[in-house]
Amino acid sequence: MSAIAQLAPSLLRVLLVGSQEEDFFLIREILERNRVSLPANLDHARSIDEAKEMLTQSDYGLVLFQHETGDAAVNLLSEFAYSRGAAPFVILTEHADENAVAEIIQSGASDCMDRSQLNGANLVRTIRCALRLHSTQQQRQAAEQSLRKLSCAVEHSADTILVTNGEGIIEYVNPALESITGYSLAEIMGENQGILNSELQVPLLYRELWETIRVTDGARSLAVKRKKNGEVYYAEESISPIHNADGKITHRVYNGRDLTERLRIEAELVQSQKMDAIGRLAGGVAHDFNNLLTIITSYSELALDSISAGSPAQSRVQEILSAAHRAAELTRQLLAFGRKQPQALRVAELNPVVGSIVRTLNRLIAEDIELVFQPGADLGRVRLDPVQIEQILMNLAANSRDAMPQGGRCTIQTSNVQLDQEYVDRKRAIIPIGRYAVITVTDTGSGIPTEHLPHIFEPFYTTKPSGKGTGLGLATVYGIVKQNHGFVWVYSEPGLGTTFKIYLPCVPDRPAATVVAEAGDNEKFSGTETVLLVEDERSLRRAAVEFLSLRGYTVLEAQDGLEALSITRTHASPIHLTVTDVVMPQMSGGELARELERLRPETKLLFLSGYPGETVVDHKVFEADGNFLQKPFTLNQLARKVRTVLDHQPDMIANATTQSGASLRC
């Protein structure tokens, strides 16, 4: 529809600018006579200032101005001709030279009309032409503006945009694609779009994609692309064909979004969930498994006591005990991986702990491997469990040993580091900034292949031959470090060795705890006190009763908490110690402890459990650092713990209703 046809139903407001009154009356009369074909109203501005004010206050569809307004008309055009919603301008000239008319036309006037030819037909035709020309100019300007916006959006888009012809030859790429791929526009122009394809995506997928594009209006896929430097990136890509008037595809537009970082984060989340699930599984089976191991070790120890030294039966029972100890270590590794291993945390300096452990590592590694300890100066104190630090170093040292079958050098270093925001941003990880103590274990071994690095902390993942490893060593390291709110990084290249860095958060300076070594398992602890043993596992209970009786104790036994309370009420003599399992049917160890505090406040308590430490806390066992023994244990360990509790005055288990914090860390 033409501009005149669009305007015909509505009233055209016309403004005449100039001092000639006769022009105003003449034009108004002409417009009145042609009102049917061109309905219009005419207003008159006698000066430029008045015209500016009227144009500001009202919307006019056309402006007529007399040429004698001179430079002022040019200024008026410059001010209003290109403003939003500007009306077309028509010049009324009289004896004007061509240069003056050209200047006004260049300033934005739509048409020019000689006053001597001012009649109905000429004026209506001039107005129609001016309106049509103005409408065309407005449409062109709108199209140009839209094109500029589109170009700006494409150029500044964070998504990649690539345009090819029908044969797949690249004709345009936006800056985002240049930034991600490393190809400049000059390098990639004229190349086939396949230059960005990766061999990781099989050709069949490409063929199916092209077939989809051929028969539909587009396709969407997750594409594996390759950068100029050879790196792979993942992009969610949509491909849209452009057709000509005959329906033939002339171009294709590829719009992509780099998903590499998002997929990396999702993979880390899945890995974390997988490891957490296995950790929960480990904690779930630990109780029954630990009970069975305790039974095996207990009866093996009782059998050893009744076998003559040096007999064949002794070596056989020793093999049973050795296998049970290895199984117990495997259970501890599983619990450590799942971050459910009980901890005996204390604030201590790292160097003495690591130094004492390093002295024992020489027995673990081969003689042709040089073990070096380089303690750092002025280390911050950390909250640690020395047993767990030993597990970390033993697993890392064993890995280094296996990586250096021909010998080499294993270096253990300690140092301080202050992690700042720049480090956190560089690692692209969630790490609290602050001061950390770092344990660095470096070897000169064969290194870890790049394809294995993302999986080395997964449980049961191993590159060793069958029977040479459980695949739990590094998973245990990871679990312990995370349980202690730390971080572990690995750096390795094939043939250049491997470096593990363990970051443990420092605590505010305070006096360090002294780490006291426990006595050996072979010490025999005896006594004459009365001990109440509460254990729902009959075989374990019978073995413990027999062993403690042999040590001189008077032992009362109960299969659950209710039976223990009954014995407590009916036994006339003092009961010096109650040894109770934590998780039992009918009444838990925590509930039994509260009843015993009421009935026999002088009776001391020792708790046993095969569950992870957090389950012990859940059963209201508090302040259990000094009176808790984790299964599996040996009978000698039980006897030592019984003697320790009897000889000391550990804090009684606090009532769950008055205590809020647990010192048994999980």
DSSP string, 384-415: E-HHHHHHHHHHHHHHHHHH-TT-EEEEEEEE
Residue 471 tokens read as: 């695949």
DSSP 502-537: EEEEB----PPPP-PPPPPTT------SEEEEE-S-
Q: pTM higher than 0.75, yes or no?
A: no
339 touches 279 (CB < 8 A): yes
Q: Which of helix, strand or coil describes residue 183?
A: coil
Backbone angles phi, psi at 131, to 5 degrees: -65, -40
| d(C-alpha 591, C-alpha 598), whole Å | 11
Which of 227, 225, 233 has its CA nearest to residue 264?
233
Least confident of 9-18, 186-195, 198-207, 331-340: 331-340
Sign of torsion over alpha carbons 126, 132, 134, 137:
negative
The conformation of residue 194, written as its DSSP 8-state character, comes to G
DSSP 163-188: EEETT-BEEEE-HHHHHHH---HHHH
In DSSP terms, 462 is beta-bridged to: none
Three-point CA angle 146, 131, 31, nearest 5°: 155
Backbone angles phi, psi at 577, to 5 degrees: -150, 135
Q: Answer with the residue of higher pLDDT: 594 or 384.
A: 594
Q: Which residue has the tokens 């800056």?
A: 175
- Long-range contacts (CB closer than 8 Å, 24 or more residues apart) made by 234-237: 234/258, 234/259, 234/260, 234/263, 235/160, 235/259
Which of 521, 506, 505, 488 has its CA nearest to residue 336?
488
Backbone angles phi, psi at 473, to 5 degrees: -60, -60
Q: Which of helix, strand or coil describes residue 552?
A: coil
Q: What is the CB neighbour count within 10 angstroms for residue 129? A: 16
Question: Whole-number mean pLDDT of the chain?
Answer: 79
pLDDT at 345 over 70: no
pLDDT at 583 over 80: yes
Most confident segment among 298-302, 378-382, 541-545: 541-545
Determine the angle formed by the axes of helices 98-106 and 71-80, rounding to 10 degrees: 20
Residue 590 tokens read as: 């925590």
Q: Answer with the residue of higher pLDDT: 486 or 429.
A: 486
Least confident of 222-226, 367-371, 514-518: 514-518
End-to-end CA distance of the chain: 79
Q: Which of helix, strand or coil describes residue 324?
A: helix
Cβ-proximal residues to 51 (8 Å cutoff; 6+ apart), any chain: 15, 17, 45, 63, 65, 76
pLDDT digits (tens, 9 = 90+) for 130-154: 888 888 888 888 888 888 888 888 8
Q: Answer with the residue of higher pLDDT: 478 or 78.
A: 478
The answer to whether domain 350-505 and domain 530-647 are alike in fold is no
The conformation of residue 520, written as its DSSP 8-state character, comes to P
DSSP 65-99: EEGGGTHHHHHHHHHHTTSTTPPPEEEEESS--HH
Determine the angle formed by the axes of helices 635-647 and 538-550, rounding to 10 degrees: 60
Domain 3-149 top-level CATH class: alpha beta
| d(C-alpha 4, C-alpha 34), whole Å | 14
Q: Which of helix, strand or coil describes residue 234?
A: strand
Which of 601, 598, 561, 554 has its CA nearest to residue 581?
561
Question: CATH assignment of 530-647?
Answer: 3.40.50.2300
pLDDT at 306 over 60: yes
pLDDT digits (tens, 9 = 90+) for 611-647: 655 555 555 554 545 688 888 888 888 998 899 888 8
Question: CATH assignment of 350-505?
Answer: 3.30.565.10
585 touches 560 (CB < 8 A): yes
pLDDT of residue 651: 43
pLDDT at 103 over 50: yes
Q: Which residue has the tokens 């300007």?
A: 141
Q: Answer with the residue of higher pLDDT: 520 or 145.
A: 145
**Residue ranges per structural domain of the chain:** 3-149, 157-258, 265-331, 350-505, 530-647
Residue 35, Cβ density class (10 Å: 0-12 exposed, 13-18 middle, ≥19 buried): exposed
Q: H or E stretch including 48?
A: helix 48-57
157-258 architecture in CATH? Answer: 2-Layer Sandwich (3.30)
Which of 533, 472, 498, 329 has its CA nearest to residue 400?
498
* % of residues, the chain, pLDDT over 70: 77
Residue 664 tokens read as: 């048994």
460 touches 512 (CB < 8 A): no
Which of 344, 317, 343, 341 has its CA nearest to residue 329?
341
234 touches 263 (CB < 8 A): yes
| d(C-alpha 315, C-alpha 148), whole Å | 89
Q: Torsion-angle region of residue 68: left (phi > 0), alpha (psi -120 to 50) or beta?
A: alpha
Average pLDDT over residues 305-333: 79
pLDDT of residue 84: 47
Least confident of 21-25, 350-354, 463-467, 612-616: 612-616
pLDDT of residue 412: 92
The conformation of residue 605, written as its DSSP 8-state character, comes to E
The conformation of residue 147, written as its DSSP 8-state character, comes to H
Q: Which of helix, strand or coil describes residue 239?
A: strand
In DSSP terms, 467 is beta-bridged to: none
Which of 554, 546, 613 has its CA nearest to residue 583?
613
136 touches 96 (CB < 8 A): no
C-alpha distances in Å from residue 619, one per residue of 506, 588, 593: 31, 7, 11
Three-point CA angle 104, 107, 109, nearest 5°: 65
Least confident of 216-220, 477-481, 639-643: 216-220
Residue 627, Cβ density class (10 Å: 0-12 exposed, 13-18 middle, ≥19 buried): buried
